[in-house]
Amino acid sequence: MPVLRKLHRYRFPLLLLSFWLMTVLLLGDASSLTRIQAASTWLNSDKIIVSKKTIPPLIENVRKTVLDNGLTVLTREVHSSPVVTVQVWYKVGSRNEEPGLNGIAHQLEHMMFKGTKNRPIQFGRLLSALGSDSNAFTSYDQTAYYNTAERDKLTALLELEADRMQNAVIDSVELASEKRVVISELQGYENSPEYRLSRAVMQVAFPNHAYGLPVGGTEADVQKFNLEQVRKYYQNFYTPDNAVVVIVGDFQTEPTLEAVKEIFGKIPKSQQSGVRSQESGVKSQESKARTPIVLLEPGSATLLHAVYPLPDANHPDVPALDLMDRILTDGRNSRLEQVLVESGLASDVSASVISLLEAGWYELSVTADPDQDLKKIDSVLRSAIAKLTQKGVTTEELNRAKAQLEASVILSNRDITNLALQLGNDQTTAGDYRYTEKYLAAIREVTTADVQRVATKYLKPEARTVGFFKPTQVKPTGNTEKTNSKHNTENFASGAVNTQEVAKYLPSVDLTSVPRSHTLPEQFTLSNGLRVLLVSDRSTPTVTLSGYVKAGKEFDPEDKAGLASVVAENLMNGTKTKDVLTVAKTLEDRGASLEFETYREGVRIEGDSLAADLPILVQTLADVVKNANFPTKELELTRKQALTTLKHELDDPSEVAQRTFVQSVYPKKHPLHTFPTEQSLRRINRKDVIEFKTKHYRPDTTVIALVGDFAPDQVKGLIKSEFGNWKASGSPPTVNYPADIIPEKVVSVNSVLPGKAQAITYMGNTGINRKDPRFYAVQVLNQILGGDTLSSRLGAEVRDRLGLTYGIYSNFLAGSNFGTFLIEMQTSPEDTRQAIASTRELLKEIHEKGVTEPEVETAKRILISNYIISLADPEELTHKILMNEVYGLDKEELRHSTEKIQAVNLEQVNQAARELLYPDKIVVVTAGPAVFADQGIMSH
C-alpha cells in the first residue's frame, strides 16, 4: 500500500512507487516528488525579475567513499534546513529470489524491524522515539531503509542501521507473526483489478525471469517460508560489500565519514558468494503476436494493460525511450491522451518506461469508459503507436517532452529525502550515483529520428503482451443500512508501550535541541479581499504554489452532489481567450503543473514550476479562476469520467468504507453527509456549473501561498496585476454545520463487495475542529494511540503483537467547522472481529485509565521532530502556511507550533481521552469480504 501523496513519472521502480511494482512497509507518512526548463517568453521580461542562477548539478558536492569492508558511502551536504536523511540500500530484491521463494526479500524487509541481539525491541519504536520519518521498501533490484530526522539524530540513526545490518534476530515466533502481516498486505493488493491484471501480464511477458513475478510475492510462497530460508537471505545479502549508505542534509562531511567508519567499518564483508539472480539477463521471447490475456473477475473497472520488453537501465536507448513515453502519454497534448481520453474512449491512460539492472519494459495502462469495447480501444492504441513508428514525432513534441522530463527531475529533488533516494537508486540500479546527470545530458542530445528509431525497434506488435480485465459484476452489493449492536470483546490489550524499554535501547542523543526558527511568510491582501502569503527561499531555483478557495463539497446541493468537484475539474478546460489544449500547452511546454482538487470545505490549488516560469504559473491560475468558460464538450467528458470514477470507487473497499463511515457518523442534511451518486452527477448541467463558479469562486474567499526562488516585491506586483480586477458581489456564501451527535451505542455496518480478499475497517465518531483549545493535546493523544503503525499502542498491539493487520492508524481530522475521529485498518476477514475487539479494548483502557507521563513526553518529541522535518519539504511548508491562514491562525503559528506541543501536559492529554474517546459509542464500518455476523458485525 503506497503512502506517498503524489505519484510521478520515473525511470526506476523505486520512484514509480506503484504498489504492484514494489512494496512499502508502512511506518508513517512519506513525502512526495515532482519536475526543469528555460525561462518563458510568454510575459515581457520586465514583468518580473527571477533568479538567473543556473540549475545546480544533482551530484554537486556528492562524495563517494568505499570502506575497507566494501561498504559504499555517498554523502552530500545541504544546509537549507536542520535536517538529515540516512538511508541504507541493499542490492537484493525480488530479482535475486530462487524458484518457490517469491517474496522472501520482502519478507526479510519486514523482519528487519523485529529487533537485534543488542536491541530486542521493535525498531519502529526506536526510530519513532528519535522523531525520524522512517520507512522501507523492497523492489526488483534492491531493498532500502530510509530515515529523515533532525540533524542531531544522525549518529543514532547510523548506529541503528549498523546494528540491524549484522545483528538482526530472526526467530520462528516473529516470522510466523510477520508472515501473517505480509499475507494481509498481499491480500490487500488482490482487492485491486489493476494489480491482478498487471501480475497476469507480467508473468506471460517474463516467464523465465523473476521480473515477471510480483515483488511482494505470492501467498502460497509466503506461507511456505521457513526460518532457515529467511536467515540465508539475511546472511548472504545484508553485508557491507552489498550495501550503499546515503547521507544527505545538514552535517559536516569529514566528522560524519569518521563516524560511519567507526560504526560500520567493523562489520565484516561477506564470506560467501550469495544467492544470485536466476538468469544473467532476460531470455528473449518468440517473435509472434500473442492472444490477449483476458481476466473475467469480479470488479468494476474495464482495463487494458500492455507490456513491451526493453533493455536495461544503462542501455543508450533509454533516454530516447523516456522521451517517446512523454510524447505518447504526458499531458493533454500527448498523443494517447488525445485519441483515447479526449475522444471519450477511456477515462485514463498512463504509461511508464521501467529501466532495471537486468532488463526493462514499457507498460501502458488504459481505464476504459464502461460503454467502450476493449478491442476497439486496443485497435486505436496500436494505430497511434504505428503512426509514431511510421511518421515519427515533431520537433515541438520533442522539445516539450524534454522540458517536462528535465523539470520533473529538478523538482523531484528539492527535498533531501528524495535527493538521497535518487542517489541511492542510481548507485544500486545503474551502478553509478552520477547516472541521472549523465542521463540528462543524453536527453538533451536526443533527436526526433532517435525517438522514431527506438519506437520502431521496441514497440513491435509481436513483442508486446496485452491483457484485458472484464468485470463480471459491475454493481457492488454494499449496503449502508445501520444496525445497533454490541461487539463481543476480549481482553487483547497489553497496556502502554513501554517507554522505559525504548529509552534503554535508544542510542545516545541530545533530545533537547532547540529547532531553528523558520522564516515567517510575508502577507498582504488585495483590495478585493484576496490574501497572499510569500516566503522567499533561494535554496533551489523552483517555486511551489498552494491555494485555497472556499468552494468545496459542503456547498453541493443534495440532488446534485458532485457539483463542486465538476466545477474544479473543468477550470483548466478553456477560458475566454484560450481553448483547453492551449491552456495545457502553456504549462506543458515548460514542465510546469497546476491542479485543482476538491475537499469538503474548500478547493486546493497546487502548482510547481521553475523559478523562471513563475509568471506563467500565476498568469495561468488567474486566467482560469477568472475566465473559465466551461465548454460543453469538455464538461460532458468530465461527467463521463466522473461516472467511471464513481463506479470504481464503489468497488474499492477503502472508498466504500470511508463513504459509509462518514454517512453513518453525520446525519442527512449535514454538509458532510452528501456524496455523489450516478443520479446526482447526471443531473448537473452547464448552467449549474456556471452559477456555482460565479457564486463560490471569489477573491475574498481565496488564499494563495508561494514558496520559492523569487523577489517578494516583484511577485506582489505580478499578483496585483493578474488578480486585481477579479471582482465579487455581495457577501460570501455560508453553510450551516449542526451540532455534533455521538451515537448512543456501537453502530456497525459491513458492506460486502464481491471478489475482495481484504477488509477495510473505519471506526470512530465526531471530533474537534482546528480552533479547539484541545487541539495540541489531541495531537499528542493521537500519536500515542495510533500515530504510526509500529510505535503506537494500536500498532504495537494489533499489528505487531497480534499480526492482525498490515497497517492501523488513528487520526483526528480537524477542519474549520467540523472534526472527525477515526481509526483505519486493513485485515483478513477472519481477523476482522478480533482486530475490532482489540481496538475497542484499547480505546476503553485509554478512556478510563489515561496514558502515562513517559508516553506523553515521547509523543511530544516525535511530533516536534516530525514538524521540523516537514518544514524542510517545500510542498509541506507551503501547505502549512496556507492552511494556517485558512483556519484563521496567526502567521506566528508556523514558529509557535513546536512550543505549543511542548507545553502540553499529562492531564490535558488524559482529559482529552476522557472527553473524546468513546469505545461503546462508536461507528464501526467494514467494507470488503463478509465478516462474521455472529460476532456482532452485521453483514448486508
Give the per-residue SS3 of 755-824.
CCCCEEEEEEEECCCCCCCCHHHHHHHHHHHHCCCCCCHHHHHHHHHCCCEEEEEEEEEECCCCEEEEEE
> How far apart (Å, rounded) are the C-alpha atoms in residues 196 and 265?
44
| pLDDT score for 891 | 86
| pLDDT score for 283 | 58
DSSP element (H, E) containing 307: strand 303-310
> How far apart (Å, rounded) are the C-alpha atoms in residues 302 and 810?
34
* The three cell numbers locating residue 461: 506488435
| pLDDT score for 499 | 73
With cell 517517446, the residue in question is 324
| pLDDT score for 38 | 25
With cell 542501455, the residue in question is 315
Closest CA relative to residue 881, chosen from 592, 615, 639, 518: 518
Asked if 16 contacts 22 with a C-beta cutoff of 8 angstroms, the reply is yes
What angle in degrees, to the nearest 10, is found between the helix axes of 172-190 and 227-237?
90
Asked if 247 contacts 421 with a C-beta cutoff of 8 angstroms, the reply is no
How are beta strands 293-297 and 465-471 bridged, if at all? parallel
> How far apart (Å, rounded) are the C-alpha atoms in residues 725 and 526?
10
Query: 3-class SS at 354?
Result: strand
> How far apart (Å, rounded) are the C-alpha atoms in residues 830 and 828?
5
Closest CA relative to residue 463, chosen from 385, 390, 373: 385
**DSSP-based helix, strand, coil % in the chain, nearest 5:** 45, 20, 40
> How far apart (Å, rounded) are the C-alpha atoms in residues 27 and 681?
37
734 CB contacts (<8 Å, ≥6 apart)?
Answer: none
Q: What is the DSSP letter of 574?
A: B
CA–CA distance from 698 to each of 373, 425, 526, 773 (Å)? 43, 45, 12, 30
| pLDDT score for 18 | 32
Where the chain has pLDDT below 70, the residues are 1-56, 273-289, 473-497, 510-517, 932-940
| pLDDT score for 16 | 33
| pLDDT score for 57 | 73
Positive or negative, the CA dihedral 257, 259, 262, 268 is negative
> How far apart (Å, rounded) are the C-alpha atoms in residues 192 and 212?
18
Burial of 228 (0-12, 13-18, 19+ CB in 10 A): exposed
DSSP element (H, E) containing 439: helix 435-445
> How far apart (Å, rounded) are the C-alpha atoms in residues 770 and 838?
29
Closest CA relative to residue 300, chosen from 660, 643, 762, 675: 643
CB atoms within 10 A of CB 709: 19
| pLDDT score for 932 | 57
> How far apart (Å, rounded) are the C-alpha atoms in residues 592 and 589?
8
> How far apart (Å, rounded) are the C-alpha atoms in residues 533 and 74?
37
Cα angle 165-115-493, degrees, rounded to a multiple of 5: 160
Closest CA relative to residue 511, chosen from 862, 247, 249: 862
CB atoms within 10 A of CB 528: 15
Asked if 110 contacts 182 with a C-beta cutoff of 8 angstroms, the reply is yes
The letter for the amino acid at 476 is: P
Closest CA relative to residue 939, chosen from 685, 768, 751: 751
Report DSSP letters for 206-220, one per residue: STTSGGGS-TT--HH
> How far apart (Å, rounded) are the C-alpha atoms in residues 879 and 703?
11
DSSP element (H, E) containing 408: helix 395-412
Burial of 279 (0-12, 13-18, 19+ CB in 10 A): middle
Burial of 375 (0-12, 13-18, 19+ CB in 10 A): exposed
Query: 3-class SS at 744?
Result: coil
Alpha helices in 89-139 (DSSP H): 104-111, 123-129
> How far apart (Å, rounded) are the C-alpha atoms in residues 138 and 533?
40
